[in-house]
Amino acid sequence: MTLIGVVGAGVMGVGVAQNFAQYGHDVVLVDKDEDILGTARETITRNCRMSRLMGGPALDPEEILARITTTVDLDALAGAAVVVENVTENWEIKHEVHTMLDKICPPPAVLVVNTSAIPITKVAAVGRHPERVIGVHFMNPVPAKPVVELIPGFHTSPGTVELTRELLRGIGKNAIDVKDASGFVSNRVLMLTVNEAAFLVHEGVATAESVDEVFRGCFGHPMGPLETADLIGVDTILYSVEVLYDHYADSKYRPCPLLKQMTDAGLHGRKTGRGFYTYDS
């Protein structure tokens, strides 16, 4: 099996690490904070125990965690064949991380950018080998979502595309080809929907509960847009909308002030216990 590096132990990074470990890959999960890594292991344990109840496969937490090494040392990725970067949607942070990855991970290692909005070509330009950089937009929760967006950058080689596609197929993912445009398909539509739903709450048109009930009841969505925002992370939604606004310079992507206020207040959704809804521990 392939040694997989995963950078960032937030919601997405934890899901990516677990998904690869489920299919027998050894994983090195890196984050700058030991406490975050500890929480990541607890989250994976809980997710594995809940998997069967949520309609997934029966998973042994100890078996999955035995394949995952956690560390704060980015140099531990030097031997990885594929590295999946999942840091926050902040260009300065991504630029710094990819500058380091370019030095630590020699070719032919593939660098996968798990981003919801930042163009892949922009990220690839940071390093000396843009042909080995490719975008994969995983959906949350990663182990349960069978579809990903596969986004080659301008310089991404055909070999990188096929290697990544085969790797994804091996962990149960159907990779949908998408051209490199900020937001791609899913988030160019979803972020507008969530942002507009937040405006409805901000303007007092409806409560979060009412907005979500309309989407569930009228359109058959399993989750409303604001429930989805809490699952993804309100802060992540804000950063993604800001990237779209900056990239397209189009007023339709203007971030809702409520998203900014909630992000500043630490109301980031499920991961902090409170967002548009309140969650117990």
Which residue ranges make up the annotated binding site? 8-13, 31, 89, 94, 116, 140, 271
Distance CA 188, CA 195 (A): 11
Which residues are annotated binding-site positions for NAD(+)?
Answer: 8-13, 31, 89, 94, 116, 140, 271
Q: Please choose, from the candidates 269, 266, 274, 241, the residue with its C-alpha nearest in 3D space to the C-alpha of residue 256.
A: 241
**What are the residue ranges of helices labelled H in 83-185?**
91-104, 120-124, 158-169
If 0-12 CB within 10 Å is exposed, 13-18 middle and 19+ buried, where does residue 224 land?
buried
Q: What is the CB neighbour count within 10 angstroms for residue 63?
A: 12
| Residue reference for tokens 């409170």 | 274
* First vs last C-alpha separation in the chain: 36
Residue with tokens 């950018």: 113
Element at 6 (helix H, strand E): strand 3-7
